[in-house]
Structure 1
Amino acid sequence: MKTFKHINILLLMLCFTLSFSQQTPAPEQTKDFAIVGATAHIGNGEVIENSIIVVSNGIITIIGPEASTPLTRQAMDIIDAKGKHIYPGFIVSNGTLGLVEVDAVKASDDLSELGTYNPHVRSIIAYNAESKVVESMRPNGVLLGQVVPRGGRITGTSSIVQYDAWNWEDAAIKTDDGIHINWPNSFSRGRWWLGEDPGLKPNKDYSKQVKELTDYFNEAKAYNNGDKAKKHLPFEAMSGLFDDSKQLYINVDDAKGITDAVNFAKNQGITKMTIVGGYQASEVADILKQNNVSVMLKRVHSLPELEDHDYDYTFKQAKQLVDAGILVSLETSGDMERMNSRNLPFYAGTTVAHGLTKEQALQLITLNAAKILGIDNMYGSLEVGKSATLFISEGDALDMRTNNLSHAFIDGRSISLETHQTTLWKRYSEKYGIKEN
């Protein structure tokens, strides 16, 4: 009875936590509006100074230089953005936002499913659109994300969402976009807590684990080419990999593993493939380029993993891959992954300090990410006919010192930039007499 009492208290605390300061999703756009005078960073490498962007029914209908773009101002609301900057909404690739709220409360954790092969597990139905963590992404311009399950050899199926919704049905902009695999490790470290040498050593079971994965794919392919007399949900979920309607995402870091993963996909006849993590991707860039394989690059703010790697190995890898002609986006997995997703624009900013131009770095978290996720027909850049999912910043959005949002829109809806964090900041600023700059 005492245990049940404690559980009830924890659930009540969780409910209070989830309800505190949650912002109501914005209503649909009802009147055309124009953003005038800002520097527009298109997301495809182009920049328009003193721009005009007109939005109607959630869609960009006009974009161009102010001096050469006629505008009937009386028919719409005008947002004066002179001296400011406009960007497409940033996109978090390979994220888990909305799948876990409080790590210590099991009832709020839907990160992974039991079992080794779970291609039929759909992350979207576990997505919590009212998560306080999701809400806190928006003040940094992070407006879209991929929701990815974790755990097992085949972790499940991901979906793409926007970050201002009542529920997962409202949030989803593309469901079941791809299937995710954790590639076997070709090397492993000794278990130091058992007295083993903690250094790297070859994984004796590597070939066996790759064969098991290959056999599973062969069985799935045979099932989908057969009469399907007996329903097999995991195999059915994999059909999209063989008809190119789904992307295959393979989590792998080492050069040998990346090479083997590319050859594996090629032998399976899978043409839509992305390497996730790709710590040593730059060392096999030629293979990735030859096979048209894109990369979701490991978190930029990471230490080198091998002692003979440069201190800035992870910082400069984006530049090396872009120069090799590979389609690259950034992902944020690792320690405190969900919290660190808000730092996505600043990870991109770090790549500028190590070789990329600002517009190339911007593409890593906008149009490149949208292309990999298959949503570039509507998101990822500021172009006529695309969704008005964008934001206005007082300064450079890739610099944490100047990325200060004044407006943000998802599908033309003017969304709130208030979160539980801004609420607490204002509360205690008033208490201690701190004035806003």
Structure 2
Amino acid sequence: MKKYLYKYIVCVAVLFSGLSFAQQTPAPKQSQAISIVGATAHIGNGQVIENATIVFENGKIVRVGASATTQTAGKVIDAKGKHVYPGFIAPNSTLGLVEVDAVRATKDEDEIGNFNPHIRSLIAYNTESKVVESCRPNGILTAQIVPRGGRVSGTSSIVQLDAWNWEDAAVKVDDGIHLNWPSNFSRGRWWLGEPRGLSPNKDYAKQVIAIQDGFNEVSSYLNGSRSPKHLPNEAMNGLFKGSQKLYVHVDTEKGMLDAIAFAKKNNVKIVIVGGYHAHKIATTLRQNDIPVLLHRTHSVPEMDDEDYDLSYKKAKILTDAGVLVGLENSGQMERMNTRNLPFLAGTVAAQGLDKEKALQLITSNTAKILGIDDRLGTLEVGKDATLFISEGDALDMRGNILTYAFIEGRMLSLETHQTKLWKRYMEKYSRK
């Protein structure tokens, strides 16, 4: 009896584990041309086409224009009264690297050690993640997967969010290396008896020198015999050759200025990630052509004397100053909150930035910063048909209701665990 009971329990456990963790089957390759007709097309570069027609086949956009002058082909989707957008792009994300914060076995976002440029986030990316799946119904179709921890965290890659495995998911492999710049301030560790609040980081200068010493060592290795082979140093080769970018995670004004000087000295291309005080050095950023992936818009001020709405309007300040800005969403519950990315841009628009420029913060601007603007970020001929149709304004949670979504022309399922729960409880309330 116990034997059969045990088998029964095992079978039930396997069944429910499959229901709980399996993602939908990735969409099949586009088999026929598709035409979206009648929608308002938000191109992603500031342009809007009313009553537009967009035609794509073999995963690429082949025609975009006014419906009156643009010929359709293949399957026609009537999108009159709706809106078409390029797929949103989530940079600096740990999507697919952690599934459940409280379950250690599902966490694969960092590695032991302080210098890990050879650690590649791509091979740890979990395409079966239910968190990844939850982003697609809000229009997030592409993400930069970034490792965490240490001084040099590792190497990021860019993926599309509907794939069988990480090889299929890859859009751009090993796009850049991530450096956590030291802060020139530190917070008192009360549990060690240190004073509470901010105080100068007495080790800041030493930490910056250590970074430069590490880069000098890498440069010497790459310009020497490169024997014996040293994997961390080898992983930095693309950075010194110019094929990779250095993503510097830094927030303070002095930290950013020092990082810019460091980049010039080492002749590497950098992107500021976080940039909490970037608005204070906007002119310097513009003059040095350094883009910023700005910290989460939905956050409170860190300093007592700052405007309560500083985080909301910072993107506009930088954009008006001529800085190339994208939005990133790292922080508390960052993976689950990734689906709110469009509403971060919507908040920026509510603070005065033109709505189409706000859209660029999560489409074309981010694509340029990540180096994928030849394929993604706008609805233009020759680019990937990674786009979606929304009932209304996709930067507003009331209008962000997707009816269709496509990645490289493949029609996606928009069903997730969350949408199933929503439908279930909507039915419950409709019975009252």
- Residue segments in structure 1 that go unaligned for 5+ positions in a row: 1-8
Q: Which residue of 2 aligns with 1:382?
A: 379
Q: Secondary structure at the match of 1:137?
A: helix
Deviation at 1:193? 3.1
Structure 2 distance, partners of 1:237, 1:302, is 34
**Which among 265, 268, 283 is matched to residue 267 of structure 1?**
265
Mapping 1:365-380, distance limit 5 Å: 365-380=362-377
Deviates more, 1:287-296 or 1:410-419: 287-296
Q: Secondary structure at the match of 1:170?
A: helix
Q: Which residue of 2 aligns with 1:65?
A: 66
Q: 1:300·1:314 contact (CA, 8 Å) conserved in 2?
A: yes
Aligned residues: 421
Runs (4+) off by over 4 Å: 12-15, 17-21
Letter in 2 for 1:305: E
Aligned in 2, Cα 1:13/1:339: closer, same or farther, shift over 3 Å? farther
Q: Which residue of 2 aligns with 1:419?
A: 416
Structure 2 distance, partners of 1:22, 1:98, is 12
Q: 2:22·2:128 contact (CA, 8 Å) conserved in 1?
A: no
> Does 2:430 correspond to 1:434?
yes
Structure 2 distance, partners of 1:77, 1:162, is 24
Deviates more, 1:291-300 or 1:16-25: 16-25
Q: Secondary structure at the match of 1:417?
A: coil
Deviations 1:243-265 (A, max 9, x none): 11001000000100000011011
Mapping 1:297-316, distance limit 5 Å: 297-316=294-313
Deviations 1:325-364 (A, max 9, x none): 1110000001000011100000000001112111000000
Q: 1:21·1:420 contact (CA, 8 Å) conserved in 2?
A: no
TM-score normalised by the chain length of structure 1: 0.94
Q: Secondary structure at the match of 1:37?
A: strand
Structure 2 distance, partners of 1:93, 1:414, is 23
Q: 1:22·1:420 contact (CA, 8 Å) conserved in 2?
A: no
Mapping 1:3-402, distance limit 5 Å: 16=17, 19-20=20-21, 22-71=23-72, 75-270=73-268, 272-402=269-399
Structure 2 distance, partners of 1:17, 1:414, is 24
Deviations 1:76-119 (A, max 9, x none): 11000000000000000100000001112222110100000000
Structure 1 distance, partners of 2:246, 2:19, is 34
Deviation at 1:18? 7.3
- Residue segments in structure 2 that go unaligned for 5+ positions in a row: 1-9
Aligned in 2, Cα 1:39/1:263: closer, same or farther, shift over 3 Å? same
Q: 2:86·2:377 contact (CA, 8 Å) conserved in 1?
A: yes
Q: 2:21·2:128 contact (CA, 8 Å) conserved in 1?
A: no
Deviation at 1:238? 0.5
Deviation at 1:239? 0.9
Deviation at 1:21? 5.7
Aligned in 2, Cα 1:170/1:18: closer, same or farther, shift over 3 Å? farther
Q: 2:37·2:76 contact (CA, 8 Å) conserved in 1?
A: yes
CA RMSD, Structure 1 to Structure 2 (Å): 1.7
TM-score normalised by the chain length of structure 2: 0.95
Letter in 1 for 2:29: E
Deviations 1:375-406 (A, max 9, x none): 10010000000000000000000000111000
Q: Secondary structure at the match of 1:136?
A: helix
Q: 1:295·1:328 contact (CA, 8 Å) conserved in 2?
A: yes
Q: Which residue of 2 aligns with 1:4?
A: none
